[in-house]
Chain A
Amino acid sequence: MVVAIILLLVAVGSVLFHIYSPWWWTPIATNWSYIDHTISITFWITGVVFFAVIAFMAYCVFRFHHKEGRQAHYNPENKKLEWWLSIGTAIGVAAMLAPGLFVWHQFVTVPADATEIEVMGQQWQWSFRLPGKDGRMGTTDVRNIGPDNPMGLKRDDPHGQDDVVIESGELHLPVGKPVKVLLRSVDVLHDFYVPEFRAKMDMVPGMVTYFWMTPIRTGTFDVLCAELCGAAHAQMRAKVIVEEESEYHAWLEKQQTFAELSRRNAVKKATYKPGEK
């Protein structure tokens, strides 16, 4: 009796906790509300199954716990019941999988008008790169990385000269424009993670990964690293600022291009020659 009540309370308590939990997903900031809907569908289906199974179990404990003279029913199989339960489960699974795969198809299909930007991870900071006026980013190679070329751009690639390079600062994005976020790492695995964006992807040294999204509201969002990258993993932070297009362009104007950065470094080198005071 007591056992049955406690088991039922576990099921009821879980449902109530779910309903009243103050801990819930962050307000979404991109077009991926489809993902949230799929999670909601999954919560409904799994929630019903969870409650039904536990409540049935609690009832069995209540109704059939040992008493003097009780004898269990001898019933090895019931093919019909087992098949119906299997079919019902298969339908439930399909009801979660179908929307899931549908949204995944959207997730991996990048729209043609998406602007490419780049995020680069290294222990333990973020760098960003935006295409310049030509709308294309230059090619990179990890072997080119040095003090005056932190993102490893190829110097002889004309597309790279006007790329905007932002070292450990903030990334700005215009609201309402689809972006394809290219992801690179120079050392270990990282993961560009903004909870409000829903989308995330690991960054793997030696290859370029990506995801796409369209920011739908302005604001400032925390960037975290979601793939263990060593001792300061938890401190690897940055910010993304989503703003109106005019503000975005005003900000972009003030950023340094790769060519300017190289020139500045070249000037620095010329000014501070070793041995010169």
Chain B
Amino acid sequence: MVDVPYDAVIDVPPAEVAEVDLYHPRSWWTRYVFSQDAKVIAIQYSLTATAIGLVALVLSWLMRLQLGFPGTFSFIDANQYLQFITMHGMIMVIYLLTALFLGGFGNYLIPLMVGARDMVFPYVNMLSYWVYLLAVLVLASAFFVPGGPTGAGWTLYPPQAILSGTPGQDYGIILMLSSLILFIIGFTMGGLNYVVTVLQARTRGMTLMRMPLTVWGIFTATVMALLAFPALFVASVMMLFDRVLGTSFFMPSLVEMGQQMKYGGGSPILFQHLFWFFGHPEVYIVALPAFGIVSDLISTHARKNIFGYRMMVWAIVAIGALSFVVWAHHMYVSGMHPKFGFFFATTTLIIAIPTAIKVYNWVLTLWRGDIHLTVPMLFALGFIITFVNGGLTGLFLGNVVVDVPLSDTMFVVAHFHMVMGVAPIMVVLGAIYHWYPKVTGRMLNDALGKFHFWVTFLGAYLIFFPMHYIGLLGVPRRYHDIGEAAFIPSSTHTLNAFITIMALTVGFAQMVFLFNLAWSLFRGRPSGGNPWRATTLEWQTPETPPGHGNWGKELPIVYRWAYDYSVPGAAQDFIPQNQPRATPALQGAAP
């Protein structure tokens, strides 16, 4: 009836696994701190990312307080506002989302889902985390130096970023650039691991086209990150030289506050090209793991195979490739050659097609499913709504001439928060509810989870949906205070105050979530090994949480794809990937 790929892997004996040296930890330090176990590294990455993410959350409250009630809070001035938005943006995009999806979920899930014992280079994997931690500490130290962190905006556009009219010009910008350089070094070590592990360490029978979409998403995003981050690395090094050594890579002849500067011959637009050559793939570095994970959440909790698996894989790869030729859609009004607009608008809108296919296939997976409205499923539904909304507003901003009035307004802020803020975070939260039982052996509290979902989803939607209209009106972004302008009606201030109250409410719900995480660790209901009755390998481990080496003596063998849910004639509504096909008791869906 269907031609889902079933390669012939029948009756292959288990791989001979001698007692290989798995760098078994010999002390408390090597087990929990300097651990080379990908699962421990994943938790370290996740906790660090969450900690710095909480700083970004608090910064968002402070900036919303200023926007909602300008002039009320004397401790927030224009300089600090710019510092808050800069640090908030950079932390969320790089130090939280990238680190959490790749360093956190990637480390935990890749070896388990492909049936490997660990990442292929465990020592380098450990170094990756420690360099990441150093990058986070360098970044956070900017709050404590004279002049504070940089306020150049997360895009760090020169010449502004390194001139004295911008806060944090003394040390903040130097620390920011140094931290980015460190982050990229750390990420490269981890990223090489994820790619090589997927390509080299899959267990017997785990063909590429049998991998869960989670692995496809993380794998493709990692390949992209390895190709995109070097552009940011180069840009950061050059700007650091411009700031510290007085070179002029990005600095033309200029007059600052009436003084002729010694710079000359550099190009500010070159920086923008380098930044967005990294920056646009970065959007998909965050989005593709979310796409993959949410596919698995929907399939598992709707008890139905993901619809159109091969098209989903193809779409992930196509989006990954296309995302390298769309970067200048962030620069339509930058002053680059206007003819570029034709090319970049066309590529950008073409990327909507594979993206739309993914959305269709998610909702078609729900069609005729057996939808369990668990907390992970609710977050997946919330993801679809926010992602569709944010994706569609991307069609405004990608279509060059429509972008002209909307660029640099609050419309852009609303768009990217919806599409790469709220939507991926919906997936992160859903994924935590989904895999927490595997990591800890206990379920998260369901009632608290539902409360957390509804407040977060509806609250975030009420923050960012109306914000588009403030932008449509013409209010620019990165203004700490709109001030007097004839075109802005006073009702805008009321809306801003409403958005601020929503932001604080959503923030409060995250505290409930953190409480749930801590409380359930000790008091949560024991989950057993496979509480969601899922098919993928990580749920079939002999121990929960999985021990070092993941699989005990023998590696699992994979006989089927990851989505055998509700197979007609099967005894249960799921068949694990490592269950042989020809057993008489349980008939698979063999064609």
A contact set with B: CB distance below 8 Å: 3, 6-7, 10-11, 14, 17, 21-26, 32, 34-35, 38-39, 42, 45-46, 49-50, 53-54, 56-57, 60-61, 64-66, 70-78, 81-82, 85-86, 89-90, 93, 96-97, 100-101, 103-105, 107-108, 122-124, 142-143, 145, 147, 152, 183, 186-189, 191, 193, 195-196, 198-207, 209, 220-222, 224-235, 237
Contacts and interface: CB of A to CB of B under 8 A. Distances in A.
Contact of A204 (B334, B361, B473): B334
Main secondary structure of the interface of A (DSSP, over half): mixed
Contacts of B474: 25-26, 195
Contact of A77 (B2, B163, B266, B485): B2
Given A23-B489, A186-B254, A195-B473, 15 more contacts: A22-B491, A25-B405, A42-B399, A49-B392, A57-B384, A72-B303, A93-B349, A93-B352, A97-B349, A142-B254, A198-B404, A200-B404, A200-B407, A231-B78, A233-B478
B329 to A, nearest CB: 12
The 10 A-B pairs at the shortest CB distance, nearest first, are namely A206-B252, A195-B474, A230-B165, A209-B335, A73-B368, A188-B160, A72-B566, A108-B338, A46-B392, A72-B304
A21 B494 CA distance: 13
Given A35-B402, A226-B407, A65 B373 contact: yes
7 contacts: A3-B373, A93-B350, A199-B404, A204-B334, A205-B254, A231-B79, A234-B483
Contacts of B378: 3
B530 interface: no
B373 A66 contact: yes
A91 to B, nearest CB: 10
Which of A7, A73, A77 lies at the interface centre, i.e. has the most chain B CB atoms within 10 A of its CB? A77
Interface in B343-384: 345-346, 349-350, 352-353, 356-357, 359-361, 363-364, 366-373, 378, 381, 384
A32 to B, nearest CB: 8
B345 A64 contact: no
B591 to A, nearest CB: 10
Contacts of A70: 370
A181 to B, nearest CB: 12
B157 interface: yes
Interface residues of B, number: 114
Contact of B487 (A26, A205, A229, A231): A26
B480 A234 contact: yes
A233 B152 CA distance: 11
Contacts of B407: 200, 226
A188 B342 contact: no
Contacts of A90: 353
Contact of A76 (B2, B78, B339): B2
